[in-house]
Chains A and B, each alone.
Chain A
Amino acid sequence: MISLFGIALIILSIFTIIPAIMAVVMKDLLACVIALAIMSLLLSLYFYLLHAPDVAIAEAGVGACITTALFIIAIRATQRYEVEE
């Protein structure tokens, strides 16, 4: 019999995988970066549920904020839409 905690982990896993797939599939790179930020935030929640609050704080600070800012700066310096070769 699966517990309530296991059900919560499964639901959170699905909600973490969906933005990751969106970040791969979408052509608008700015939307991809926002999807990656959402994935990082949900991943930090996942780490917290798995009793790793240290990693959760680091993931929320670095993954959701600083990486997003770096990607947005890089997109501003290059181009926004993915080009078909």
Chain B
Amino acid sequence: MNDETNDGRMSIIVRTIATMLLPFVLIFSFYVIMHGHLTPGGGFQGGAIAASAIVMMIAAYGHKMMGKRVSEDGLSMAESIGAAIFAIVAFIGVIMAASFMYNFLVGTPLFGETPPFGGNPGILNSGGILPILNIAVGMKVIGGLAAVVMIMALAGDERGDEK
């Protein structure tokens, strides 16, 4: 990883395995985020898994090449959009039912189904505003953690140049 001759990249074996693993890790993270109201996990856990996928690509390909593909501005924008969606959805409840974070989506076609009584594995299309809040938190965590790692990698690079 610290080899300066090939621009911080690792060997071809590591790069190929990381490229093959990336879609599986991302799909698993989106599964954890989308099933946040049914199974263990949620926005933070899924976002941490997706950010670890980005960290894996940074370790395999080097932060210079990943800095060209994934911009810090985009990650910061994803973080801010996630926070904005969370706040907006929470305040719509105030407008519609005079209660902060009121679950105004129950009964509507969007995440509005009611699961039956008794033991059941859960319905994905249920939960009201909870899946939307999970997606917002997931966007925020992906942007935040990936931006922290990428900015720190770039800053460490500048520090190494000074020495």
Contacts and interface: CB of A to CB of B under 8 A. Distances in A.
B48 interface: yes
Contact of B149 (A54, A56, A57, A73): A73
Interface in B22-69: 32, 40-42, 44-45, 48-49, 51-52, 55-56, 58-59
Contacts of B148: 70
Interface in A43-60: 53-54, 56-58
A44 B58 CA distance: 24
Interface string A43-85: 0000000000110111001100110011011101100000000
Task: Report, as a range, how many residues of chain B touch the other chain.
Answer: 20 to 34
Contacts of A65: 48, 52, 55-56
Contacts of A57: 32, 40-41, 45, 48-49
A34 B96 CA distance: 51
A57 B44 CA distance: 9
A56 B67 CA distance: 30
A58 B37 CA distance: 16
B40 to A, nearest CB: 4
A61 B53 CA distance: 10
Contacts of B42: 54
B1 interface: yes
A72 B55 CA distance: 12
23 contacts: A53-B41, A54-B41, A54-B42, A56-B40, A57-B41, A57-B49, A58-B48, A61-B52, A62-B48, A65-B48, A66-B51, A66-B55, A69-B59, A69-B149, A70-B148, A70-B152, A72-B1, A73-B152, A73-B153, A74-B152, A76-B2, A77-B156, A77-B160
Interface of A: 53-54, 56-58, 61-62, 65-66, 69-70, 72-74, 76-77
Interface of B: 1-2, 32, 40-42, 44-45, 48-49, 51-52, 55-56, 58-59, 145, 148-149, 152-153, 155-157, 159-160
